[in-house]
């Protein structure tokens, strides 16, 4: 009987964990993924691009990307790597995606809670 109770508890725990993390599965974001592909998938997963209302304070490269319609660009460093950061929100989470190269290849990402 104790084994059955443990099995049921483990099953329920797995079900709860699966549903709790299903909306935040970002394992598809891999280095080298084109940013436009990442943005498409994130939008399907209900992540909303966060419009940069202070784009005039950003680099000229970021302003160029913003003008191309990527309003979620935070800023860019136009040097050897041409690195940019893009921001999304979902619920109480913020997601920042960092790209490198002028082709906007994903380099990394991080999530954190809204303040």
pLDDT < 70 stretches in the chain:
1-24
Supply the pLDDT for residue 115.
82
pLDDT computed for residue 23 by the predictor: 53
| Closest listed residue to residue 109, CA positions, set 74, 80, 68 | 74
What is d(CA 107, CA 44) in angstroms, rounded to the nearest whole number? 21
Neighbours of 80 (CB within 10 A): 7
pLDDT for position 7:
32
The pLDDT of residue 99:
98
The pLDDT, as a whole number, for residue 13 is: 32
Q: What is the per-residue pLDDT across 6-20, written as a single tens digit (0 to 9) for each?
A: 333 333 333 333 323
């Amino acid at each position: 009987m104790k084994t059955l109770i443990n099995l049921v508890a483990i099953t329920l725990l797995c079900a709860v964990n699966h549903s709790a993390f299903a909306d935040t599965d970002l394992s598809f974001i891999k280095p080298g993924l084109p940013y436009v592909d990442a943005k498409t998938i994130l939008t399907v997963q209900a992540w909303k691009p966060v419009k940069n209302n202070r784009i005039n304070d950003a680099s000229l490269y970021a302003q160029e990307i913003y003008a191309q319609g990527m309003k979620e660009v935070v800023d860019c460093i136009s040097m050897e790597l041409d690195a940019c950061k893009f921001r999304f929100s979902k619920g109480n989470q913020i997601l920042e995606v960092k790209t490198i190269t002028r082709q906007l290849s994903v380099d990394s990402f991080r999530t954190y809670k809204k303040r």
